[in-house]
């Protein structure tokens, strides 16, 4: 036994000193579409039934002519634990008298228990959710009582959001009108553990309205959404109607199943000396179940288990979330911001309300209209590229996972407009859990020009506490504001071989600021990369040039935000 220990000690001394980290960036997904064709999936309760009218297949959740009734449809469970989903569906209501009945709810929760009247529900949610005080319902209150019609959101029986909304554009007199997809509204319900629930509705002829945005994060932050189902519940009161729902498409992001190696005895996502020590400590015949260290389940901890540990040395195969798992596209119209953008939320976002905010402006090649078709252009450069590639937070930075990151897309020609930048900064400051004294702005190329122009235009009323413009042009800002520019912490970067935006664009304002004495600059820094062309941003953002801009930003606060 002692000789075995000595041999293992020698092997450990020759092993790689730095064990591999658990792999990141793995995303597990599940998706399903339900068009209610024969045979439809899921389970129907009470009045709910699939129908085919004029070639349109729909869920008819409740039916005109049957007052004081209800109907519910429930999907099969999504196997696994959901941490984010996007659900879209079309809907309309029909009443031969032209009015609307009570309404319906979109459902998500544990719907495995259908005893009694638990599956009964409507615009207020579901009885089963009220019983359990668990489950998300988004209610579409279609009756036209004064101020009562709108969209609510509840977890269990507790409402956390309500917004008035008119359903007149999708309330029809004939069935033919109601089932026609061009006459139906399209709703999108998005949920994530970090941000809560967002609802948008596009009625015929509109591009969509954000009904409410990021609500209920606290109510749903700690739920166990394992093997939950989706569904719809509708109700008719004294005023009855048809409720038609169709073209249901649901995409979910799941917590990936653990693929941990059995050799990770101490469950720390690494196979190393600690696991060898655990095997040696349990050496001999197993005396308990489970038997710690018996990796091959032979009934004894012996040399074969040591061999298994050595053979699996390093990465234990654990699946840990990468930064891309927390990167969300926010197309124009899905929020109240005037621009489409990308959003990154740090781990534990919902637990704090004082995160630093980093706003990133892209180059001219990434301009676009802010739609889902053009926003992916932003993922090719800068901080968004680092997040998408699971290189965020940058390991070389001491700042860690500190920032909420947002990157708006410029919908205009040329560089970012200062008024747009100001409006987006104000919107982001008001809509995220951030510390308004720790807001920071960076941009590359045309984004850096937009950063300088924002500083020049807004002047002393700028919101950010510090700025990092990369290969931009701040000469106009310097000419107009002079030494007052130095009252803002600015660290500019440029390549001296830049043939697109001459290096003078950074040298002139920064050397000017550094020469000021009345008032003296608070923190004016200039880094020039010898022999580097226009792309001076890659080595700046990934910190391969050795300048920790993220930690530097964090040293500054706005005293009058």
The per-residue pLDDT of the chain, averaged, comes to 89
pLDDT digits (tens, 9 = 90+) for 262-316: 888 776 677 888 889 989 988 999 987 678 888 888 889 999 999 988 988 876 6
CATH class in words for 323-554: alpha beta
In the chain, domain spans:
28-254, 260-317, 323-554
Which superfamily is assigned to 260-317 in CATH? Dockerin domain (1.10.1330.10)
CATH number listed for the domain at residues 28-254? 2.60.120.200
Task: Indicate yes or no: pTM above 0.85.
Answer: no
Look at residues 495, 507, 484 and name the one whose alpha carbon lies nearest to residue 445.
Answer: 495
* Cα dihedral 109→114→119→120 (10° resolution): -150
Q: pLDDT grade, residue 98 (50/70/90)? A: low
Look at residues 477, 462, 469, 375 and name the one whose alpha carbon lies nearest to residue 426.
Answer: 462
Kindly give, in sequence order, each residue whose CB lies less than 8 Å from that of residue 43, ignoring residues fewer than 6 positions away: 73, 74, 114
Q: pLDDT grade, residue 240 (50/70/90)? A: confident
Predicted pLDDT of residue 275 = 85
Task: Please answer whether residues 552 and 358 qualify as being in contact, where contact means their C-beta atoms are separated by less than 8 angstroms.
Answer: no
Question: What's the CA gap between 325 and 194, in Å, rounded?
Answer: 11
Question: What's the CA gap between 383 and 489, in Å, rounded?
Answer: 20
Predicted pLDDT of residue 351 = 75
């Amino acid at each position: 036994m002692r000789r075995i220990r000595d041999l293992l000690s020698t092997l450990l001394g020759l092993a790689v000193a730095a064990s591999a980290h658990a792999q990141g960036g793995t995303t597990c997904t599940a998706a399903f579409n339900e068009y209610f064709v024969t045979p439809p999936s899921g389970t129907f309760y009470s009045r709910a039934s699939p129908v085919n009218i004029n070639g349109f297949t729909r869920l008819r959740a409740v039916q005109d002519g049957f007052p004081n009734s209800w109907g519910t449809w429930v999907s099969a469970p999504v196997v696994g634990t959901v941490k984010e989903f996007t659900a879209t569906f079309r809907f309309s209501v029909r009443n031969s008298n032209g009015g609307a009945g009570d309404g319906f709810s979109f459902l998500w929760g544990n719907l495995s228990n259908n005893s009694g009247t638990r599956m009964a529900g409507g615009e207020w949610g579901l009885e089963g959710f009220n019983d359990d005080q668990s489950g998300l319902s988004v209610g579409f209150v279609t009756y036209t009582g004064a101020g009562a019609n709108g969209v609510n959101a509840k977890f269990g029986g507790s409402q956390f959001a309500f917004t008035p909304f008119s359903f007149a554009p999708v309330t029809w007199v004939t069935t033919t009108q109601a089932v026609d997809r061009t006459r139906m509204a399209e709703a999108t319900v998005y949920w994530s553990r970090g941000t809560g629930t967002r609802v948008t509705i596009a009625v015929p002829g509109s591009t969509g309205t954000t009904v409410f945005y990021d609500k209920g994060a606290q109510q749903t932050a700690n739920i166990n959404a394992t093997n939950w189902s989706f569904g719809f519940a509708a109700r008719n009161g004294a005023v009855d109607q048809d409720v038609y729902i169709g073209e249901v498409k649901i995409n979910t992001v799941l917590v990936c199943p653990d693929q941990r190696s059995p050799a990770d005895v101490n469950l720390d996502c690494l196979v190393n000396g600690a696991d060898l020590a655990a095997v040696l400590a349990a050496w001999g015949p197993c005396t308990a179940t489970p038997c710690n260290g018996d990796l091959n389940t032979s009934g004894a901890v012996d040399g074969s288990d040591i061999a298994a540990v050595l053979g699996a040395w390093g990465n234990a195969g654990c699946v840990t979330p990468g930064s891309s798992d927390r990167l969300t596209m926010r197309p124009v119209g899905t929020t109240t911001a005037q621009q489409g953008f990308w959003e990154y939320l740090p781990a534990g976002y919902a637990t704090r309300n004082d995160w630093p905010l980093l706003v990133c402006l892209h180059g001219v090649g990434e301009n676009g209209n802010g739609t889902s078709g053009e926003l992916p252009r932003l993922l090719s450069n800068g901080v968004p590229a680092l997040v998408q590639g699971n290189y965020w937070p940058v390991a070389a930075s001491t700042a860690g996972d500190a920032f909420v990151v947002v990157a708006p897309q410029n919908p205009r020609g040329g560089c970012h407009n200062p008024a747009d930048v100001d409006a987006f900064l104000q919107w982001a400051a008001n809509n995220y859990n951030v510390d308004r004294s720790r807001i920071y702005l960076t941009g590359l190329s045309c984004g850096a020009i937009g950063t300088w122009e924002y500083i020049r235009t807004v002047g002393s009323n700028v919101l950010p506490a510090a700025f990092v413009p990369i290969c931009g042009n701040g000469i106009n800002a310097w000419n107009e504001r002079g030494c007052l520019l130095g009252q803002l912490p600015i660290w500019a970067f440029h390549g001296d071989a830049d043939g697109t935006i001459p290096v003078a664009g950074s040298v002139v304002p920064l050397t000017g600021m550094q020469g000021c004495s009345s008032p003296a600059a608070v923190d004016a820094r200039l880094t020039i990369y010898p022999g580097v062309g226009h792309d001076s941003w890659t080595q700046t953002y990934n910190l391969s040039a050795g300048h920790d801009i993220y930690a530097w930003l964090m040293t500054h606060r706005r005293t009058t935000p």
